[in-house]
């Protein structure tokens, strides 16, 4: 199956699961509603400072999680720039949003490389990496596709990967699948809904 067909099939699966899980009181998200999804429940990797991280560490914040790699020429920097824009657009509420970048290229994306890369977008962004086996396990947990594409030399390969962000609520539950290319405003709108929901329940 080609990367494009795989991505479309994965998106259809996500959309179907969202329809099956959503209840009558669901929020009107701009992205695909994943409320009640039975995946994307665990994320245990190491950050750019060498600390072990899990979803529980970020309780109380809305998470925007994106899988990519630092040598990505377009999708990854565009997405991280949009997440930074989202935080700025939210004003004081931007402090309640945590951007997380999970590398699908742990071979080249060392902690030393992730740190300045993410800081160039926003100093609060967190980069997560693991071994090849850990990366595969997390990608499977999130239903994320990635695959190496050979380059002219063994070191210049590219990585095809799912181009979307996962938005988690303040309780650490996946809620929205935000497709690449939608822009920052839909993310802002969906995060505002989640923050309002959190205030009502507190």
What CA–CA distance (Å, rounded) separates 180 from 189? Answer: 15
What's residue 14's pLDDT?
A: 54
- 3-state SS, one letter per residue, for the chain: CCHHHHHHHHHHHHHHHHHHHCCCCCCCCCCEECCCCCCCCCCCEEECCCCEECHHHHCCCEEEEEEECCCCCCHHHHHHHHHHHHHHHCHHHHHHEEEEEEECCCCCCCHHHHHHHHHCCCCCCEEEECCHHHHHHHHHHHCCCEEEECCCCHHHCEEEECCEEEEECCCCCEEEEEECCCCHHHHHHHHHHHHHHHHHHC
For 43-94, the pLDDT digits (tens) are 999 999 999 999 999 999 999 999 999 999 999 999 999 999 999 999 999 9
- Token pair 């693991």: residue: 130
Q: What rounded mean pLDDT belongs to the chain?
A: 90
For 143-173, the pLDDT digits (tens) are 999 999 999 999 899 999 999 999 999 999 9
pTM beyond cutoff 0.75: yes
What CA–CA distance (Å, rounded) separates 133 from 110? Answer: 16
What CA–CA distance (Å, rounded) separates 165 from 180? Answer: 7
Mode of pairing for the β-strands spanning 158-161 and 164-168? unpaired
What's residue 58's pLDDT?
A: 97
Which CATH number is 3-22+32-201's, of 3.40.710.10, 3.40.30.10, 1.10.10.10, 1.20.1090.10? 3.40.30.10
């Amino acid at each position: 199956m080609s990367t494009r067909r795989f991505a479309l099939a994965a998106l259809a699966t996500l959309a179907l699961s969202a329809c099956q899980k959503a209840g009558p009181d669901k929020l009107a998200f701009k992205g695909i509603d994943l409320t009640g999804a039975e995946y994307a429940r665990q994320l245990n990797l190491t950050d750019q400072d060498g600390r072990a991280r899990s979803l529980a560490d970020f309780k109380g914040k809305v998470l925007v999680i994106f899988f990519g790699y630092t040598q990505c020429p377009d999708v990854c920097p565009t997405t991280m720039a949009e997440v930074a824009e989202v935080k700025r657009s939210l004003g004081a509420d931007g402090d309640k949003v945590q951007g997380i970048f999970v590398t699908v290229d742990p071979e080249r994306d060392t902690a030393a490389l992730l740190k300045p890369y993410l800081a160039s977008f926003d100093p609060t962004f967190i980069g997560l990496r693991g071994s090849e086996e850990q990366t595969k396990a997390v990608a499977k947990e999130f239903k994320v596709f990635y695959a190496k594409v050979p380059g002219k030399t063994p070191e210049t390969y590219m990585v095809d990967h799912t181009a979307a962000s996962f938005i988690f609520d303040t309780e650490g539950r996946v809620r929205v699948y935000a497709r690449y290319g939608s822009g920052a405003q839909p993310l802002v709108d969906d995060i505002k809904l989640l923050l309002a929901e959190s205030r009502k329940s507190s």
